[in-house]
Amino acid sequence: MKFSFRLGVLVSSFFLSLFWSLNLLLFLYTLLVYYLLYEAPTGHWMASVLMISLPVAWGFNLIYIVFWLLVKPWRALMPVVTMLIGIPFWRRTFTYSRPELNSEKRPTLQVMSYNVMGFNKYDLVDTQRPDDANHMIEWVLNEPSDVKCFQEFYNENRSVVFRTIRRLERAGYPYYAVLRSPERDGPGTFFGVALFSRYPIVKRGDEVFDNFNGLVWADVKVGTDTLRVVSVHLQSMGIRVGGMLKEQESKQVKEQTQGILRQLRQGFTLRRNQIARVEEFYRNSPYPIIICGDFNDTPYSYTYGKLRRVLRNAFEDAGRGFGFSYNKEPGFLRIDNQFYNARFLQPLNFVTYQDVKFSDHYPIMAQYAIKPREISKDRRPRTHIEFDF
């Protein structure tokens, strides 16, 4: 009896010591991730992998908190402290803000961003359901935003349904900018990044990153003010989690895993270079700026962090809930964003239209109040970095 008791104590002590050691390693790992997110000392793809793992690290810390509270409560202090250190990043995950009233009657600009997946044009080959595409385009036409930013926008002049540029013009958006990418399917056909506006565009430009990835920008005249709006589409992760989950053979799973790692590495590297170009557009802009689009990266990524150090994020400041914007497996990703210059703009509301399920992304919308000053005359871009989390 004594022997069994002592053996049980030894086994229990061994596992408690093992769990404590693993908890210590988790504490150090989470601190490393925090450091990478705070300082962004490198854009190496391995650092990016560590950074996007923050929600996983948080999950394990929460498990440890519950475990230690049940076994040895004082040991729960370490994972609790770990979570508290990460408070500045909590808003990137979950936020709740009430829509603000424009009580001072400031001029406003409402901006919608939507990866429309070619309006499902390339799915019609298999589904033969043009009504699905038309319903999606009708929703886009009726959505009331002043500026509409698109990624994977499709136009085909020969098609009644996909003559989308003409249809948007007739819906009250006569001003637009599109990415100068090669026509994929003949004259009058376009696939890529686009921006449409109710208000006059006084200047516009674009930059191609790779094929249909890139950005377009437009200086939009809103009354006496001018704002620069950028629609951007960064390199895709190129990962289909659903296909990975369906694989049964171990060899196929191994090949899928290796392919995912290659795609992650390539995607992180390309987006690191692309976000550097986006930053230049911010720093060289003579006007207050809104940068929105499909960033193909999570809120804990190098890409997100680089913009977040100089601009505010509309979801964090005016959104509600988790704001997941990806309409496919795994289903809990927020990769579509709007960043804005808080010195000149105030977000009144931010909405993720999760009931609009036409595409593999949900549309996002933010309404901004323009702060009362002669912003169009303030042509000095701010070049210092804000450490504002």
In a domain, 21, yes or no: yes
Q: Are residues 78 and 110 in the same domain?
A: no
In a domain, 134, yes or no: yes
Residue 58 pLDDT:
97
Q: Are residues 155 and 230 in the same domain?
A: yes
Residues 171, 196: contact at Cβ < 8 Å? no
Q: Which residues contact 158 (CB under 8 A, 6 or more apart)?
A: 188
- CATH number of the CATH domain containing 333: 3.60.10.10
Q: How do beta strands 175-178 and 189-197 pair?
A: antiparallel
Residues 184, 162: contact at Cβ < 8 Å? no
Query: Distance between CA 5 and CA 24 in Å, rounded?
Result: 28
In a domain, 388, yes or no: no
- What is the count of structural domains for the chain? 2
In the listed set 52, 85, 118, which residue is the last one of a domain according to the structure?
A: 85
Q: Are residues 238 and 284 in the same domain?
A: yes
- Residues in the chain with pLDDT values less than 50: 125-128, 241-245, 375-389
Q: Are residues 111 and 28 in the same domain?
A: no
Q: Which residues contact 199 (CB under 8 A, 6 or more apart)?
A: 109, 146, 147, 175, 220, 221, 222
Query: Please, where are the H alpha helices in 284-372?
Result: 302-308, 314-318
Q: Which parts of 42-160 are beta strand (E)?
A: 95-96, 108-115, 147-156
Q: Are residues 212 and 238 in the same domain?
A: yes
Residue 5 pLDDT:
56
DSSP string, 126-138: HH--HHHHHHHHH
- Name the DSSP class of 375: G
Query: Mean pLDDT of all residues in the chain?
Result: 86
Q: Are residues 271 and 329 in the same domain?
A: yes
Residues 272, 304: contact at Cβ < 8 Å? no
Q: Are residues 81 and 109 in the same domain?
A: no
Q: What share of the chain is helix, strand, coil (3-state, %, to 5)?
A: 45, 25, 30
Residue 198 pLDDT:
98
How far are the Cα atoms of 62, 90, 91, 298, 299 from residue 84, in angstroms, in the given order? Answer: 12, 9, 13, 21, 18
Residue 1 pLDDT:
53
Structure tokens at 309: 């150090």
Residues 153, 116: contact at Cβ < 8 Å? yes
Q: Are residues 131 and 197 in the same domain?
A: yes
Query: Distance between CA 1 and CA 350 in Å, rounded?
Result: 65
Residue 6 pLDDT:
66
Q: Are residues 232 and 342 in the same domain?
A: yes
Q: Report how far Cα 185 is from the mean position of its chain's Cα atoms.
A: 29
Query: Distance between CA 229 and CA 225 in Å, rounded?
Result: 13
Q: Kindly report the length of the chain.
A: 389
Residue range of the domain that includes 42: 2-85
Residue 236 pLDDT:
86
In the listed set 59, 85, 111, which residue is the last one of a domain according to the structure?
A: 85
Structure tokens at 332: 């809990």
Q: Are residues 213 and 242 in the same domain?
A: yes
Query: What pTM was estimated for this model as a whole?
Result: 0.87
Q: Report how far Cα 54 is from the mean position of its chain's Cα atoms.
A: 16
